[in-house]
C-alpha cells in the first residue's frame, strides 16, 4: 500500500474530485480545492475530470502550481498502477521544484513507488536519506513528517524489522504530529507494526479507536486497512464467521474505492474464512477475485493464499485436473512471495551495511590524512608525543579494518539465516523447495531412487489453544529434534508451514522410506516427556510418495504424499500411509482443516 500516496492530506486522503464548476480565471483556486478537499482516496470519474481540466489550463498556472498539479497527476497514475508515468512526474518535481516541502513529499512518494515495483534496495537507500532529514526536521511540515515516519515504519515492517517499524510509528505520537493525540495514518501504521511483530494483545484497544479517527478524517482506505487487520485477528483466533461478517459489511466501500491491492487482500482473506467454514463455492469465488485483483503483483501474499485455497477446494471437490493446475500456480506464487520477502530483508541489510561501510571508509580516509599530517610534523619536530599519537591512530585504523571484515561476515551470516526457519532452525519452505528440486533433478540424471515424506503433527491446534503458543513452539522444536535423530546428511528436511514438515530421501526405495518414516513416527510419539513441555503427548501422521509412482517432479510428489497424509488422518492419525492406488490420483476425502 502506498502509504505516502494515499495516507495523507496532500497525497491525498484524498484529492477533491466532486468539485463545483470554476471559471477559467479561477484556476489557482481550483488547484487549491483539489489539494485540500477529499474524495475518499479513490479513483473516481470526478477526480479524473478535475485533473484533466487543470491539465488543460496548466499554462496559466505559476511554476510551483504546475508542480503541485504534477504531484496530483503522479498520485492518480500510481493509484491506477501506472508507475512509469508516476515516476516520470515525480522525477520532474525532484529536479525542478524549489519548494522544499513539496520535494520531501515527492521523495516519500518515490520510496513508496520503488517498493511497490519491488526495487527494494533503491527504496531502502532513499529511505535512509529520508530518515536523516526526518531526524533533523528542518523545513519539513508536520503533515510530511507524519507521512515520512509512516513510510519508514511500513517499509521496515515489510523487511521484518518490526522493532524498528514500531519505533518510527511511535515517533509520530512522541513528536506531537498526531492531531488531538490521534491520526488515521499514525494509528494504522502503529497497528501494522504491532501485528507484524506478533503483539496482538496491544492491537485490540487501538482498532476501534483507529477506525473512528479514520472515519472522522474521511479516510476509508485506511479505515478498511485497519478492518483488514481486525479480520485477520478473528481468523487467527478461530472466529472465521466474525471475519466474514466484518469483511462483507465493508467490501462495497473497498470495491468503490477501486484500490486493487486492498481488494486482493479482502478477497484472499474472505476465501480463507469461507474455506474454514466449509463454504467451498464462496471460497472459490473469492479466491478467483483475489487473483483477478492481484495482477499488479503476481507474487503478493494474497495471490499465494488465493491459489492455495483454489487448490484445496478443487481437491476436496474431486477435480483432479484443476487441483494440479492450481497447485502448480500456488507453488510459483508462494515461491515468488517468499523470494520477495527475502529480497526486502536482504535489501535492508545490504543498505545498512553500505551505510556503515561508507561511514567507515570516510573515517578511514580521515584517519589516514591525520597520520600523514602527523608524519610531516614528526619530520619537522621529531616529537615523541606525535609518534605515540600515530601508533594510536594506526590502532584505530586496524580496528576499522577489523570492523569492516566483521560487517562482511555478518552479511554472509544473514544470507545464510534467510534460508532457515526462525523457530526450528531447519530449512524454510522456500529453501526446502529449491533444494528438493535440485536433488530430484540429480537423482533423475543418475537414475537413482528418491522418496518424499510429508509430516503433520496431530491435533496441534489443541496444544496451542490449551497451553499457549510458547508451549506449542517448544513442542515443534521437540518434534524436529526427534526427526533429526533419524536423518542422514544427504536428506533434505524443511518446515513447510505451521506444523507441517517435508523430508526428501535420496537413494531410498519406497519400502526403505516407509521404514524410516515409521522410525520417525515412533520417535515423535516417544518424545512426550521432554523437560520443555512435560506431559504433553504428541504424535504425527505421515504421507509417503516415491518417484516410481509419481516421477521426479516435486509438485507431483507433494500431491501424492499429501494424498497419503490425508489417508493417514482419515484412518485415525499417528500412522504412515501412501497414496491410495484404488482412488484417482488427486481425489482426497475430508477437508483441509481436518488435518490439525
Q: Are residues 528 and 483 in the same domain?
A: yes
Report the chain's C-alpha Rg in angstroms. 28
Indicate the pairing of strand 450-457 with strand 540-546.
antiparallel
* Max CA separation in the chain (angstroms): 97
Q: Are residues 446 and 400 in the same domain?
A: no
CA distances from 421 to 103, 362, 431, 501, 520 (A): 41, 37, 9, 11, 20
Q: Are residues 585 and 444 in the same domain?
A: yes
499 by DSSP, 3-state: which?
A: coil
The strand pairing partners of 148, in sequence order, are: none
Domain assignment present for residue 262? The answer is no
* Structural domain containing residue 279: 271-418
Would you list the DSSP string of 245-283? HHHHHHHHHHHHHT-HHHHHHHHHHHHHHHHHTT-HHHH
CA dihedral 340, 344, 345, 347 (to 10 degrees): 130
The 10s digit of each residue's pLDDT in 348-362 is 777 766 666 666 666
Residue finishing a domain among 389, 418, 447: 418
Domain assignment present for residue 319? The answer is yes
Domain assignment present for residue 459? The answer is yes
Q: Are residues 314 and 382 in the same domain?
A: yes
Helix (H) or strand (E) holding 7: none
Q: Are residues 581 and 448 in the same domain?
A: yes
Q: Are residues 403 and 454 in the same domain?
A: no
How much is the pLDDT for 126? 83
The 10s digit of each residue's pLDDT in 62-90 is 888 888 888 888 877 777 778 888 889 88
The strand pairing partners of 357, in sequence order, are: none
Report d(CA 244, CA 287) in Å as an integer.
Answer: 14
Residue 389's contacts (CB-CB under 8 Å, 6 or more residues apart) are: 374
Q: Are residues 338 and 435 in the same domain?
A: no
The Cβ-side half-sphere exposure at 172, using a 13 Å CA radius, reads 30
Q: Are residues 386 and 483 in the same domain?
A: no
Q: What pTM was estimated for this model as a whole?
A: 0.56
Domain assignment present for residue 134? The answer is no
Report d(CA 449, CA 447) in Å as an integer.
Answer: 7
Which of left, alpha, beta for 139 (phi over 0: left; psi -120 to 50: alpha)?
A: left
Report d(CA 547, CA 506) in Å as an integer.
Answer: 10
How much is the pLDDT for 39? 34
Residue finishing a domain among 418, 440, 471: 418
Residue finishing a domain among 418, 440, 464: 418
The strand pairing partners of 576, in sequence order, are: 542
The strand pairing partners of 494, in sequence order, are: 427, 502
Q: Are residues 439 and 362 in the same domain?
A: no
Question: Which residue, among 62, 61, 93, has the nearest Cα to 77 in the 3D structure?
Answer: 93
Domain assignment present for residue 407? The answer is yes
**Within the chain, which residues score under 70 in pLDDT?**
1-47, 137-139, 177-182, 295-299, 338-341, 343, 352-365, 375-384, 386, 410-418, 528-535, 581-596
Residue 526's contacts (CB-CB under 8 Å, 6 or more residues apart) are: 482
C-beta of residue 548 within 8 angstroms of C-beta of residue 449: yes
Would you list the DSSP string of 41-83? T---HHHHHHHHHHHHTGGGS-HHHHHHHHHHHHHHHHHTT-H
Q: Are residues 542 and 451 in the same domain?
A: yes
Q: Are residues 475 and 553 in the same domain?
A: yes
Domain assignment present for residue 325? The answer is yes
How much is the pLDDT for 582? 43
How many structural domains is the chain composed of? 2
Domain assignment present for residue 373? The answer is yes
Residue 171's contacts (CB-CB under 8 Å, 6 or more residues apart) are: 134, 149, 177
Q: Are residues 481 and 552 in the same domain?
A: yes
- CATH code, domain with 562: 3.30.70.270
Domain assignment present for residue 554? The answer is yes
CA distances from 418 to 3, 336, 347, 407, 430 (A): 27, 15, 12, 17, 10
How much is the pLDDT for 503? 97
Amino acid at each position: 500500500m502506498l502509504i505516502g500516496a494515499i495516507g495523507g492530506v496532500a497525497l491525498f486522503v484524498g484529492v477533491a474530485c466532486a468539485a463545483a464548476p470554476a471559471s477559467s480565471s479561477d484556476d489557482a483556486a481550483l488547484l487549491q480545492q483539489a489539494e485540500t478537499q477529499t474524495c475518499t482516496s479513490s479513483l473516481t470519474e470526478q477526480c479524473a475530470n478535475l485533473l484533466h481540466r487543470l491539465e488543460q489550463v496548466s499554462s496559466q498556472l505559476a511554476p510551483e502550481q504546475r508542480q503541485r498539479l504534477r504531484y496530483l497527476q503522479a498520485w492518480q497514475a500510481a493509484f491506477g498502477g501506472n508507475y512509469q508515468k508516476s515516476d516520470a512526474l515525480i522525477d520532474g518535481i525532484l529536479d525542478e521544484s524549489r519548494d522544499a516541502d513539496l520535494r520531501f513529499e515527492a521523495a516519500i512518494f518515490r520510496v513508496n513507488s520503488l517498493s511497490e515495483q519491488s526495487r527494494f534496495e533503491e527504496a531502502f537507500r532513499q529511505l535512509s536519506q529520508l530518515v536523516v532529514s526526518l531526524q533533523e526536521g528542518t523545513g519539513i511540515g508536520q503533515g510530511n513528517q507524519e507521512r515520512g515516519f509512516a513510510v519508514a515504519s511500513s517499509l521496515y515492517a515489510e523487511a521484518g524489522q518490526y522493532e524498528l517499524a514500531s519505533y518510527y510509528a511511535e515517533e509520530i505520537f512522541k513528536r506531537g504530529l498526531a492531531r488531538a493525540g490521534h491520526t488515521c495514518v499514525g494509528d494504522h501504521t502503529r497497528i501494522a507494526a504491532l501485528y507484524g511483530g506478533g503483539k496482538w494483545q496491544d492491537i485490540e484497544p487501538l482498532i476501534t479507536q483507529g477506525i473512528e479517527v479514520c472515519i472522522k478524517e474521511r479516510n476509508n482506505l485506511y479505515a478498511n486497512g485497519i478492518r483488514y487487520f481486525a479480520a485477520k485477528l478473528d481468523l487467527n483466533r478461530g472466529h472465521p464467521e466474525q471475519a466474514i461478517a466484518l469483511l462483507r459489511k465493508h467490501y462495497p466501500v473497498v470495491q468503490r474505492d477501486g484500490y486493487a491491492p486492498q481488494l486482493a487482500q479482502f478477497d484472499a482473506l474472505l476465501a480463507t474464512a469461507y474455506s474454514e467454514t466449509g463454504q467451498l463455492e464462496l471460497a472459490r469465488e473469492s479466491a478467483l477475485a483475489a487473483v483477478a485483483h492481484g495482477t499488479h503483483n503476481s507474487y503478493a501474499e494474497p495471490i499465494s493464499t488465493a491459489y492455495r485455497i483454489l487448490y484445496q477446494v478443487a481437491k476436496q471437490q474431486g477435480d483432479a485436473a484443476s487441483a494440479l493446475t492450481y497447485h502448480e500456480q500456488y507453488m510459483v506464487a508462494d515461491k515468488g512471495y517468499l523470494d520477495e520477502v527475502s529480497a526486502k530483508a536482504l535489501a535492508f541489510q545490504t543498505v545498512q551495511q553500505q551505510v556503515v561501510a561508507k561511514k567507515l571508509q570516510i573515517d578511514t580516509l580521515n584517519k589516514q590524512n591525520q597520520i600523514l599530517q602527523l608524519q610531516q610534523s614528526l619530520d619537522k619536530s621529531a616529537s615523541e608525543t606525535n609518534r605515540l599519537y600515530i601508533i594510536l591512530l594506526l590502532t584505530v585504523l586496524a580496528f576499522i579494518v577489523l570492523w569492516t571484515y566483521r560487517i562482511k561476515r555478518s552479511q554472509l551470516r544473514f544470507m545464510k539465516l534467510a534460508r532457515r526457519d526462525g523457530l526450528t532452525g531447519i530449512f524454510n519452505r522456500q529453501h526446502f523447495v529449491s533444494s528438493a528440486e535440485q536433488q530430484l533433478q540429480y537423482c533423475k540424471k543418475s537414475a537413482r531412487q528418491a522418496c518424499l515424506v510429508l509430516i503433520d503433527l496431530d491435533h496441534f491446534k489443541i496444544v496451542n489453544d490449551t497451553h499457549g503458543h510458547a508451549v506449542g513452539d517448544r513442542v515443534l522444536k521437540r518434534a524436529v529434534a526427534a526427526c533429526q535423530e533419524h536423518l542422514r546428511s544427504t536428506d533434505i528436511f524443511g518446515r513447510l508451514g505451521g506444523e507441517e514438515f517435508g523430508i526428501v530421501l535420496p537413494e531410498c526405495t519406497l519400502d526403505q522410506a516407509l521404514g524410516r518414516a515409521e522410525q520417525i513416527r515412533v520417535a515423535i510419539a516417544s518424545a512426550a516427556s521432554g523437560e520443555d513441555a512435560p506431559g504433553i503427548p504428541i504424535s504425527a501422521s505421515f504421507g509417503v510418495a516415491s518417484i516410481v509412482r509419481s516421477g521426479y517432479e516435486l509438485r507431483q510428489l507433494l500431491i501424492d504424499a499429501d494424498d497419503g497424509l490425508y489417508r493417514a488422518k482419515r484412518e485415525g492419525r499417528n500412522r504412515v500411509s501412501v497414496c491410495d492406488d484404488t482412488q484417482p490420483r488427486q481425489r482426497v476425502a475430508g477437508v483441509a482443516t481436518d488435518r490439525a
